Amino acid sequence: MSHPLDAQESRVRKHPFVGMRISDHTVLDTIEGRHNCRLCHRSRKFFCYNCYIPVGELATVLPQLKLPLLVDIIKHKKEIDGKSTAVHAAVLAPEHVRIHTFPDIPDYRKEDGVVLIFPSAKAATVPQLFERNVQLQIGENYGLPKGHHMGTMLRRRMDEVEIQGDDDKPEQELRCWKLDNLPIRRAVFIDSTWNQSRGIYADERVRGLRTVVLQNRLSQFWRHQRGSPRWYLATIEAIHQFLLEVHINAWGLSAHYRGLDNLEITESFHRLAEPLKVVPAPAAAEEVVDRESPYNGQYDDLLFFFANMYDLIHKYYDHNELIAYRRPI
């Protein structure tokens, strides 16, 4: 018979954000009342989801992130601002993130180095952007009916990425990546339901962009979206996953970083990351270092608000009783 403490320790070990380098977000639990936004003067709790700035005392204590590339978020006009996780990115990384409400968006056809995070039929993986010799194994059309493809239906976890290469040089030595020569300068995300996103993708200003598909990780989002699978990530989760993949493929993964242990990412992600692991110097083992060092949690604070709300939800609700976590995986 298991001891209650054993069960408690098991739950702690399986917490999705254990091992990630997220700043202490319990400061959010100490804030009482609401404050007026200094720009629009609306009453808000933590941040203004119209102006994308923190309110009250949070302005001095929030982590501020610098990203390796620019991030644009195209928000469907029917998305409720106060419920969207996209705002988290704009508040926490204001120098690198901007939000547009469709159809008022830039014409991305005029800019080089822009990719759209969207699972189109011809989508590339992040390792392919970095010239790594990998490919998606389509198998039997991802298990979809004839006439459909992964851009119209998401029925299976896309965990069929495998290393194909027989290059003369190790993958890490193929190219020296720097912030100013990354193959991506701007990543565009769509913040909407799945059906709404297909309408945005049809717009000619984004339709011609190279599309990128992420390695699947199970979403920890507590809000259920009807008909969507567990790997349909909240926008802030998708941004974090993309930056994680970009960073690891450009500069490697610190062997000391344990933030991936409980994220429930497909096995192929770990298989592709394994050859890129780097053992840092002992002095750097416990530090979050600069943007061109092996990944050691540099962008984990993007989940600052998300992790706090996750903990709050799970304080009052049993994980296994929430519909969002009982979807097919």
Burial class (CB in 10 A: 0-12, 13-18, 19+), 114: buried
Question: What's residue 1's pLDDT?
Answer: 40
Within its chain, how far is the Cα of 277 from the centroid? Answer: 20
What is the Cα–Cα distance from 30 to 16, expressed in whole angstroms?
23
Which of residues 21 and 2 earns the better pLDDT score? Answer: 21
**pLDDT band at residue 281, thresholds of 50, 70 and 90?**
low
Q: What is the mean pLDDT of residues 1-5?
A: 39
- The lowest-confidence range among 5-9, 181-185, 238-242 is 5-9
pLDDT of amino acid 159: 46
CB under 8 Å to 18, separation ≥6 — which residues? 12, 258, 261, 262
Write out pLDDT tens, residues 83-96.
889 999 999 999 99
Has residue 15 got a pLDDT over 90? no
Task: Identify which has the larger pLDDT, 287 or 124.
Answer: 124
Predicted confidence (pLDDT) per residue in 103-128, tens digit: 999 999 999 999 999 988 889 999 99
Q: What is the pLDDT of residues 312-323, one digit of tens each?
A: 887 776 655 554
Mean pLDDT taken over the chain: 80
Predicted TM-score (pTM) of this structure:
0.83
| Amino acid 201: pLDDT | 94
Among 179-193, 206-220, 244-258, 267-281, the minimum mean pLDDT is found in 267-281
